[in-house]
Amino acid sequence: MHRLIVAFLAAFDAAIAVAVGIAAILAPLTLVWVFGLGDTADWGALWPASAVVWQLGHLVPLGITLPGDYLAATGIDLGAASFTLSLAPLAFATFTGIFAARSGSRASRADAWAIGVVTGTLVVGILATLIALTSENPLAQAELWQGIAFPTLIYAVPALLGALVTEWREAPHGLIARLRDRAEAWHGGWGEVIGVSARASAIAVVGLIGVGALFVAIALTARAGDIVALYEAGNVDLLGAIAVTLGQFAYLPTLVVWGSAFVAGPGFSLGEGSAVSPSGTQVGVVPGVPILGAVPESTSSWLLLLALLPVAIGALAGWVARSRLLDAAGFLPATRAPRRMTTDASADELVVLSPGDDPRRSTLESLLAKARQPDFEPSAEIVEPVEPPRPVASGHEPFLPRLVVTVAIAGIAAGVAALLSAFASGSAGPGRLAEVGPSPGPVALAVGVEVLVGAGILLLASRRRAGETREAHRAAGSGPRAETGWAGWTTAPSETGGPRETIWTSGIDREDEAPARHTDDLAPAPPVAEPEAITAPVPLPSSSDTPPERPSVD
């Protein structure tokens, strides 16, 4: 695709991401201005209010200054007239990040990822500057550089990650593709370490977010009565209830991060001196926000078992990583998806067949792509594309690459958990509400240890193949034999003479041995000669021959 078109589409994606975020705030606030404030509404304050909410949703801290007449009417102490609001509704940042990652991925597939990422980032930076310059109001102020830099970074980083991941996975040529090819050419089991670590770490992070969302859903369902009671205690009308509910929806991703921190163990706080964790809960006075009614007043020691969920997620990530490493070493059948085929005339054509592809169709695509080149000359010989040879399993699985992958999974999961905890914490008001949310350090430590244990169980465990086990018993002569069971679990006699042991094997023999038990007891069957096919011409009646008459039934 032409680079100018890619730049235009990337700029359009960035503008849409900002416009949708602003519209999601501006639309409900307009309803509040029309139906809630009526004739007393100050329409000049509508846009600044929407702009500062958008900035807060992109991690920009706001300095709140309450007017004197409001303090006198509500009886709030003068010391609480000014405070910092930095607890962000992460729904807006989440939407912007997902939109940016998809835009970067599309730019990569168009073979112009750098132009797409840079163009989208510049457009978001320009729009963020316009929003920051027009959002000044006497109630909420933000630093100009933060109002520009934070939204721009929230778009730029996911866009760059989406482009790089797509380039690494699919690009047939280019800088990232050359780096990938060099990395995959490393020997000794190191060729797949980078890709496997990234894939397994993504599974661990998504799993942690998933268990956090599940915990929040269960808490909201179990304590729905308290949430309704807080709605009733607020004495809000229908419009106010809708506005409060929409605001709480914007904070749902923040609560999901809190749920992940609770499941991991450290939990979160709702103010200075408070703690909500499986080991104990001490909250004190909680703000009257309805959704905070889901916070449990007390916890049971049985909730400490929730820490097994991150361990299980680490085990899942380790299982995926171990399977990919075994596949790369030749222990498993090929499962890698084919990379996209380039049609660039300046690059060598690449056709990779997947197991279900038709070789004739792939060959035709290759010939059509080459025919567009000016120096193409048709040849009478058609060469079928051949899949590169796969490595053959040597029986030895390197330990150091598996150790590096295990540490990488735990480290990346811990780093992302710390980053999300920092995003989901901050100041929610004056006084003791200046510290709300999870603490990044303890959450990162707990997640790292739990994921490390789970991934280590699957990645660092010794592996014995069923074929090696049978060969060992053949060499031992007469003695108890190993029995190969379901899914690669093998029961074998103990080396110390004790009871029989159960070990895990791959369940797949590269020597093409049958998985049946006691195969060495069966005598080889004599070869059966297949009968030769006998063919002879069959005479067919010509058109001049008279067909036989049907016999009469009389």
Average pLDDT for residues 26-49, to the nearest whole number? 88
The pLDDT of residue 284 is 77
* Most confident among 137-141, 370-374, 421-425 (mean pLDDT): 421-425
| Residue 122 falls inside a structural domain | yes
Q: Are residues 92 and 144 in the same domain?
A: yes
Number of domains composing the chain:
4
Do 411 and 291 reside in the same domain of the chain?
yes
SS3 for 270? strand
Closest CA to 219 of 290, 295, 304: 295
- Does the structure show a pLDDT above 90 at 522? no
Name the band, by pLDDT with cuts 50, 70 and 90, for residue 539.
Answer: low
Question: Given this model, what pLDDT does residue 272 score?
Answer: 87
Query: Domain span at residue 452?
Result: 202-310+398-459
163 and 79 fall within a common domain = yes
pLDDT band at 423 (very low <50, low <70, confident <90, very high): very high
253 burial via Cβ count (<10 Å: 0-12, 13-18, 19+): buried
137 with 224, same domain: the answer is no
The answer to whether residues 32 and 162 belong to one domain is yes
Residue with token string 């807080």: 230
- Among 110, 206, 108, 208, which Cα is nearest to 162's? 108
Q: Please check whether residues 368 and 449 belong to one and the same domain.
A: no
* Top-ranked range on mean pLDDT: pick from 274-283, 330-339, 515-524: 274-283
Kindly state the tokens that stand for 21.
Answer: 């975020």
Beta-carbon-side half-sphere exposure of residue 191 (alpha carbons within 13 Å) = 16
Residue 418, pLDDT > 90, answer yes
What is the DSSP track for 70-133? HHHHHT--GGGSEEEE----HHHHHHHHHHHHHHHHHHHHTT-HHHHHHHHHHHHHHHHHHHHH
- Does residue 527 fall inside a structural domain? no
Instruction: Give the residue from 381, 411, 439 where a domain finishes.
Output: 381
Confidence of residue 398 (pLDDT cuts 50, 70, 90): confident
Phi, psi of 479 (to 5 degrees): 175, 175
Question: Do both 58 and 101 map to the same domain?
Answer: yes
Same domain membership, residue 161 and residue 35? yes
Q: pLDDT band for position 75 (50/70/90)?
A: confident
Q: Residue 354 pLDDT > 50, yes or no?
A: no
300 and 338 in a common domain: no
83, part of any domain: yes
What is the maximum span of the chain, computed from C-alpha positions, in angstroms?
123
* DSSP single-letter state for residue 284: -
> Does residue 345 carry a pLDDT above 90?
no
Residues 17 and 165 grouped into a single domain:
yes
Average pLDDT, rounded, for the chain:
80
CA dist 372 and 189 (Å) reads 40
Strand spans (E) along 255-380:
269-270, 275-277, 280-282
Q: How much is the average pLDDT of 232-240?
A: 86
**CA 387 to CA 471: how far, in whole Å?**
32
